[in-house]
Amino acid sequence: LAKTTQPISMDSYEGQEVNITCSHNNIATNDYITWYQQFPSQGPRFIIQGYKTKVTNEVASLFIPADRKSSTLSLPRVSLSDTAVYYCLVGDEDSSYKLIFGSGTRLLVRP
């Protein structure tokens, strides 16, 4: 399974755009890239998933370059409630049972 590398922590201010980059140099052809968000004492929740180029939903965008060796989660105009841990995961449908949640990126949004 492809291993991912993310920054341990990031700081931002309300209203700013936040970009969290994840490296996955060993991503396989069939792998999708998925991001989850976790608040303290809660289970992670799905944010966004993509395979290539750009994906956008109501909460975030995911940018994936052509070589797919990295991806960037973009959170537009963050608020205090976006303070959480963000996990980047890589896997295909067959390996979904073994998704590895690393330590994630701790995002702190300041007033």
Partner 1 sequence: DGGITQSPKYLFRKEGQNVTLSCEQNLNHDAMYWYRQDPGQGLRLIYYSQIVNDFQKGDIAEGYSVSREKKESFPLTVTSAQKNPTAFYLCASSRGTRGYTFGSGTRLTVV
Q: Which helix H or strand E contains 97, and what residues bound it? A: none
Cα–Cα distance, 43 to 58 (Å, whole number): 20
Q: Using the rule CB under 8 A, is 81 a contact of partner 1? A: no
d(CA 55, CA 36): 15
Task: Choose which of 22, 82, 86, 87 interacts with partner 1 (CB under 8 A).
Answer: 87
Using CB under 8 A as the binding rule, whether residue 97 contacts partner 1 is answered as yes
Check residue 69 and report its DSSP letter: S
Q: Does 111 sit near partner 1 (CB under 8 A)?
A: no
Specify the residue, 55 or 72, whose C-beta has the smaller distance to partner 1: 55
* Contact between residue 7 and residue 23 where contact means Cβ atoms under 8 Å apart: no
Phi, psi (degrees; rounded to nearest 5) at 21: -100, 140
Per CB under 8 A, does 100 bind partner 1?
Answer: yes
Q: Judged by CB under 8 A, which stretch of 10-18, 19-27, 72-80, 101-109 contacts partner 1?
A: 101-109
Between 70 and 105, name the residue whose CB sits nearer to partner 1: 105
